[in-house]
Amino acid sequence: MATKTTKAAPAAKTTKEAAPKAAPKTAAAPKAAGAKPNALQQPLKPSAELGAIVGTSPLPRGEVVSKVWEYIKKHNLQNPENKREILADDKLKKVFGKDKCSMFEMNKHLAAHLKS
């Protein structure tokens, strides 16, 4: 039985043709003016102990963490041998409740000092 043979498709052109670029995606429509912020954007009031580090005005949780890290780096409070460990000074001892704290458990201690 004879088999059919088909011709190969012509080779692609060697010159690059500029493909039209897709338009950049636009940002989602802005939320309504009275929309409630999500849990991470909700301003929270820090306790007096935490307020000594980040200020007393209400801040979103993300900004509180950023300001605590600024304080830690400014005062060189990371353990030089283990950068994941924070060596608390007098102000941070009041927040953490102990002399040392890992960076992973820091948020647990901060949450205890934030009220809505």
Residues 39-47 have a mean pLDDT of 86
**Between these two residues, 53 and 3, which has the higher pLDDT value?**
53
How many residues in total does the chain contain?
A: 116
Query: Domain limits of the chain?
Result: 63-115
Using the predicted structure, report yes or no on whether residue 16 has a pLDDT greater than 80: no
pLDDT at residue 26, rounded to an integer: 55
Distances (CA, A) of 29 to 38, 39, 84, 107: 17, 20, 39, 32
According to CATH, the superfamily of the domain at 63-115 is SWIB/MDM2 domain (1.10.245.10)
Provide the whole-model pTM: 0.65
**Between these two residues, 23 and 95, which has the higher pLDDT value?**
95
pLDDT tens digits, one per residue of 65-75:
999 999 999 99
Q: 34 is written with which tokens?
A: 């009275």
Residues 80-84 have a mean pLDDT of 93
Residue 67: CB atoms within 10 A of its CB come to: 16
pLDDT at residue 23, rounded to an integer: 56
